[in-house]
Amino acid sequence: MSTALTSPVTGSAQTGFTSPTYTLVSDVPPDSNGRQYAVTALGGTRVGATDNTPSPPFTVTFVRPKAFKLPAARNSNTGLASAFPRNNWKVIVRKGAYIDVTQSNPPQVMTMTADISLPAGAESNSPAEIRAMLSLFIGSLSSISASLGDSLVTGVL
């Protein structure tokens, strides 16, 4: 997988976070077809956030399909494909969080997963469409990063 993060990663704007950065080291992914990084240091102003420990973790993982699927054969009579196999990729962020102010309970793991499902053959025949989809996805999240963070904290969308 050529997806490699360069450390440190600059985080996007969040309420209470000024110029957040995340120093990463390569980590062992839970999936053999993945690449994982652990956050070993935090930079900028981000009061209350912690780096990776066994409990609580702070990691980002990229997972590719175990076996790539090929486009389905076409029906000889109609010329249309009878099935549309998909190649599924994932991006997973895990972050531990305490659920009470006393931190007497063990931290619980929060997860954020992006599933990217591509019909087999799109990578060869529609690379610009894939890039456009990803560009909008990442750009949309980046443009609403702080307000989405506020919504997750306040419960108000």
What stretches of the chain show up as alpha helix (H) in DSSP? Answer: 122-125, 127-143, 145-154
Confidence at residue 1, expressed as pLDDT on a 0 to 100 scale = 46
One digit per residue, the tens of pLDDT, for the chain of length 157 reads 456 889 999 998 888 888 899 999 999 998 889 999 999 999 988 778 889 988 899 999 999 999 999 988 888 888 888 889 999 999 999 999 988 888 888 889 999 999 999 999 999 999 999 999 999 899 889 989 999 999 999 989 8
Summarize pLDDT for 112-147 with one digit per residue, the tens.
999 999 999 999 999 999 999 999 899 889 989 999
The CA-atom distances, in angstroms, between 116 and each of 67, 89, 105, 120 are 15, 5, 34, 12
CB 119 within 8 A of CB 89: no
The backbone torsions φ and ψ at residue 142, rounded to the nearest 5 degrees and listed phi first, read -65, -40
Per domain, the residue ranges of the chain are 9-69+84-154
Domain 9-69+84-154, second-level architecture? Beta Barrel (2.40)
Token duo for residue 6:
């360069």
